[in-house]
């Protein structure tokens, strides 16, 4: 079974159609990684593949796709805007483990004031409300992560795989299309104080996610600590590594 491949097969052509899409380099060793886990009948190949693009308004669009049989499927898909746009991040964490499915879908805000919410959350609320009925709130999640989510945060734990293949897939499509609408409309920021605030907010978010990546344990078990730390800091959440060149282009 490959539960999340259809999500990628939808997203990548859509990005090509709607953006001036270019390749984003994936560091050597991260395009594809395999590991054989378990013993005897439980032997299982776990394959992680990476995808990455950029566009004039989006610094990095990247996906990590983990496939390890029916009980281990993950698609983590995040879009990081260029530092001269106050756009939210597009964040999708689609996770299937032996315990069940865990779905997080959001336009993750840089700021929390009313004007920002009006611009970047209000347009998403009708979509959120549509899906919230079928995909109810998934319960507890870390308090310290709360500042990184918007009022349109879809967070749910579907019982049935079919709900992932149907309702969650539709929600993913609608959120991604709505995000690309926001991108299309976003004007570049030129005010130097605002640019400073954007940089600070991006660093706060990305450094939090690198520090608290919930997949760290899983990746370390499969591929070792050295590979995992480099994957997190050198690919998944790589802004700090690129600050000098990124600031120059703003
Ligand atoms: N999560 C990632 C990346 C992943 C990934 C890069 C490439 O950020 C997968 C893989 N998420 C992943 C896995 C789990 C979760 C869980 C494997 C299960 C961990 C486990 O149970 O062992 C949203 N993801 C979660 C959880 C949340 C999120 C709240 C529950 C686990 C927990 O309680 O910490 N997405 C996640 C999050 C932010 C986000 C915390 C914060 C900004 O955007």
In short, whether 64's Cβ falls inside 6 Å of ligand 1 is yes
Instruction: Please give the model's pTM, rounded to 2 decimal places.
Output: 0.97
Query: How far apart, in whole angstroms, are the C-alpha atoms of residue 167 and residue 131?
Result: 7
Query: How far apart, in whole angstroms, are the C-alpha atoms of residue 177 and residue 157?
Result: 23
Nearest CA to ligand 1 atom 20: 214
In short, whether 75's Cβ falls inside 6 Å of ligand 1 is no
The pLDDT assigned to 245 comes to 83
The pLDDT assigned to 250 comes to 65
For the chain, the straight-line distance linking the first and the last C-alpha, in angstroms and rounded, comes to: 43
Query: How far apart, in whole angstroms, are the C-alpha atoms of residue 13 and residue 167?
Result: 20
pLDDT in tens, the chain (250 residues): 799 999 999 999 999 999 999 999 999 999 999 999 988 988 999 999 999 999 999 999 999 999 999 999 999 999 999 999 999 999 999 999 999 999 999 999 999 999 999 999 999 999 999 999 999 999 998 899 999 999 999 999 999 999 999 999 999 999 999 999 999 999 999 999 999 999 999 999 999 999 999 999 999 999 999 999 999 999 999 999 998 888 766 6
Cα pseudo-dihedral 13, 230, 111, 18, rounded to 10: -10
Cα-based distances in Å from 156 to 102, 160, 216:
6, 12, 21
101 in Cβ contact with 157 (< 8 Å): yes
Query: How far apart, in whole angstroms, are the C-alpha atoms of residue 89 and residue 182?
Result: 11
The pLDDT assigned to 41 comes to 87
Query: How far apart, in whole angstroms, are the C-alpha atoms of residue 67 and residue 46?
Result: 6
Q: What ipTM is given for this predicted complex?
A: 0.95
In short, whether 210's Cβ falls inside 6 Å of ligand 1 is no
Half-sphere exposure of 52 (CA within 13 A, CB side): 19
In short, whether 46's Cβ falls inside 6 Å of ligand 1 is no
Crossing angle for the helix pair 239-248 and 192-212, to the nearest 10 degrees? 160
């Amino acid at each position: 079974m490959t539960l999340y491949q259809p999500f990628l097969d939808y997203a990548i052509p859509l990005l090509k159609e709607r953006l001036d899409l270019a390749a984003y380099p994936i560091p050597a060793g991260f395009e594809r990684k395999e590991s054989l886990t378990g013993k005897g009948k439980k032997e299982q190949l776990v394959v992680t593949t990476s995808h990455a693009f950029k566009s004039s308004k989006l610094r990095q669009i990247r996906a990590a796709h983990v496939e390890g049989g029916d009980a281990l499927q993950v698609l983590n898909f995040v879009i990081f805007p260029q530092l001269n746009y106050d756009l939210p991040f597009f964040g999708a964490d689609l996770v299937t483990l032996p315990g069940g499915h865990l779905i997080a879908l959001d336009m993750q805000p840089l700021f929390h004031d009313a004007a920002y919410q009006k611009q970047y959350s209000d347009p998403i609320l009708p979509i959120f409300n549509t899906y919230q009925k079928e995909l109810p709130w998934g319960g507890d999640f870390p308090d310290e992560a709360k500042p990184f989510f918007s009022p349109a945060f879809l967070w749910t734990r579907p019982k049935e795989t079919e709900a992932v293949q149907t309702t969650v897939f539709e929600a993913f499509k609608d959120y991604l299309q709505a995000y690309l609408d926001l991108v299309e409309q976003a004007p570049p920021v030129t005010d130097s104080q605002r640019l400073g605030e954007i940089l600070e907010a991006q660093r706060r978010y990305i450094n939090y996610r690198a520090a608290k990546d919930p997949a760290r344990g899983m990746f370390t078990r499969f591929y070792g600590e050295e590979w995992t730390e480099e994957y997190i800091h050198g690919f998944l959440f790589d802004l700090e590594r690129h600050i000098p060149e990124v600031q120059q282009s703003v």
